[in-house]
Amino acid sequence: MTTKSTAAPDAPGWVERDRRVLWHPFTQHDEWLGYEPIVVERAEGFELVAADGRRYLDGVSSIWCNVHGHGHPAILEAMHAQLDRLQHSTMLGLSHVPAIELGERLVAIAPEGLTRVFFSDAGSTAVEVALRMAFQYWRQVGRPEKQRFATLVDAYHGDTLGAVSLGFSEPFHTGYEPITFRSLSFPPPFLCAPLDGRGDCGDAAALEAAAVASLAALERLLDAHAHELAAVFLEPLMQGAAGMWPQPPSFLRRVRALCDAHDVLLVCDEVATGFGRTGRMFAVEQAGIVPDVMCVAKGLTGGYLPVAATLATERVFDAFRGAYADYRALFHGHTYGGNPLGCAAAIANLDVFEREGTLAHARALAATLAGALDAHVAKLDHAGPVRRIGTMVGFDLLRDPQTGERYPSHERRAHRAALAARDEGVIVRGLGDTMILMPPLALPLDQGERLVEATARAVARATA
């Protein structure tokens, strides 16, 4: 990475200064004060380099977005070139060259039929846009009673309040009921798995069987509520923030068919799964389905800048056309939506995917991770079954993996394991009781092994 250092490696006081002024997301600051945080000063390839000079493998892709490593020269070059031409201009009433180019590229790689691209700046805003599209669509095709949404239990679609209304996570969202709306929900296959609690749905047949029960619940929901439903929203193939809960591709195909049969839109949130994480460019490809609306963010720019997009079919787009005075336009837009610098990074990111065979490498990395997880995590005394699709990996820390008995949540075992992993020189994340690994797709295979081995040692220490 060519970034100039703003601090001597031993610059004193960063932690102290952080603690004085910053407020970190999803962070209990009383806990934050209890351990020495890492202050990242730069990154090189797959490593984050702290201000004190220590180096850490970026095992969660800087929250699921880095794709080709940090400081990839082709992406930097594209950003530098764009920087000299246009740093920012608005999509409100104007267009710009990188947005048009990126829009074309996205339509070309998206499942056929997703032909319209609306830019925003984060996964959450891409979801808000999808929400407004789905809601307003039905009003404008003469079905204004279709106002509600159905989502998977423990769905996570972002932190803006529309996105929060779609999802529900006990620790994150309890108490927000007065300022959110209620969605209908149905249990994902994971929660219908025979070994519910242990989450042992790693084997394909068990997962297929669980999907049947989940689909039956969706069918009942649609039978009762389709008349008032605008859309089913879901994270396709893998529910990330819930703790890596997989679905079989057949589940997605059935959901698509059920939505069609009940005249309900299907919105797929590919914010986490998109751009290769599941081994294909988009998770929905694995099921061969086309959603009516699809949200992408995170890996879109290779993880370099905040650009997101909501893609829609021409059928959805057409419902928004008409005379100005009909007020059928989508009255929504964010200042930095489709930022040119971010679009240039995204175009370069897609070029690198093609030139470097990133998807093929991601599949090799997935196989390496699978082997290493089998060798090192499966034999841990306090790890539950591994859930993995592509390079998205989760497994639970359990007091007793045989019975599924959990640790008391205040013991923060996964968090402790993630801190222990730092001593091993790797960054992973604990999400509740779940360890999450999601390395950059281009991570060299030996580094993938190192990531798993180090995580296993850290888990062994945190559960000893």
- Per CB under 6 A, residues contacting ligand PMP are 64, 122-124, 127, 156-158, 235, 240-241, 269, 271-272, 297
Cβ distance to ligand PMP smaller for residue 111 or 158: 158
Please, what is the minimum distance in Å from the beta carbon of residue 236 to ligand PMP? 9
Strand partners for 50: 40
Cβ distance to ligand PMP smaller for residue 124 or 185: 124
Half-sphere CA count of 291, side-chain side, radius 13 A: 28
Q: For residues 414 and 434, is the Cβ–Cβ distance under 8 A? A: yes
Q: Which two tokens stand for residue 43?
A: 């990154």
Please, what is the minimum distance in Å from the beta carbon of residue 34 to ligand PMP? 25
Please, what is the minimum distance in Å from the beta carbon of residue 295 to ligand PMP? 7
Please, what is the minimum distance in Å from the beta carbon of residue 463 to ligand PMP? 26
Residue of 303, 460, 265, 437 whose CA lies nearest to 378: 460
In the chain, how long is the greatest CA-to-CA distance?
A: 67
Cβ distance to ligand PMP smaller for residue 63 or 213: 63
Separation of alpha carbons 422 and 425, rounded Å: 5
Cβ distance to ligand PMP smaller for residue 235 or 433: 235
Supply φ then ψ for residue 41, to 5 degrees.
-110, -30
> To 5 degrees, how large is the angle CA 124–CA 114–CA 284?
70
Please, what is the minimum distance in Å from the beta carbon of residue 216 to ligand PMP? 25
Please measure the distance between the N-terminal and C-terminal CA atoms of the chain and give it in whole angstroms: 38
Residue of 201, 203, 377, 390 whose CA lies nearest to 281: 390
For the CA atoms of 396, 398, 402, 403, the dihedral, rounded to the nearest 10 degrees, stands at: -110
Cβ distance to ligand PMP smaller for residue 98 or 240: 240
Cβ distance to ligand PMP smaller for residue 50 or 441: 441
Please, what is the minimum distance in Å from the beta carbon of residue 117 to ligand PMP? 17
Residue of 216, 211, 296, 287 whose CA lies nearest to 245: 211
Please, what is the minimum distance in Å from the beta carbon of residue 334 to ligand PMP? 12
Please, what is the minimum distance in Å from the beta carbon of residue 275 to ligand PMP? 12
Cβ distance to ligand PMP smaller for residue 124 or 278: 124
Please, what is the minimum distance in Å from the beta carbon of residue 41 to ligand PMP? 23
Q: Which two tokens stand for residue 312?
A: 């829609």
Cα Rg of the chain, angstroms:
22
Please, what is the minimum distance in Å from the beta carbon of residue 142 to ligand PMP? 31
> To 5 degrees, how large is the angle CA 462–CA 463–CA 464?
100
Q: Which two tokens stand for residue 327?
A: 């007020």
Cβ distance to ligand PMP smaller for residue 128 or 200: 128
* Residues 54, 60, 63, 66, CA torsion sign: positive
Chain Cα centroid distance, residue 323: 37
Q: 3-class SS at 376?
A: helix
Half-sphere CA count of 451, side-chain side, radius 13 A: 32
Cβ distance to ligand PMP smaller for residue 157 or 406: 157
Please, what is the minimum distance in Å from the beta carbon of residue 323 to ligand PMP? 34
Cβ distance to ligand PMP smaller for residue 122 or 134: 122
What contacts 408, CB < 8 A, 6 or more positions away? Answer: none
Cβ distance to ligand PMP smaller for residue 302 or 401: 302
> If you count them, how many residues does the chain have?
464
With CB atoms as reference, the residue minimizing the distance to ligand PMP is: 123
What contacts 142, CB < 8 A, 6 or more positions away? Answer: none
Question: Residue 96 class from Cβ within 10 Å (0-12 exposed, 13-18 middle, 19+ buried)?
Answer: middle
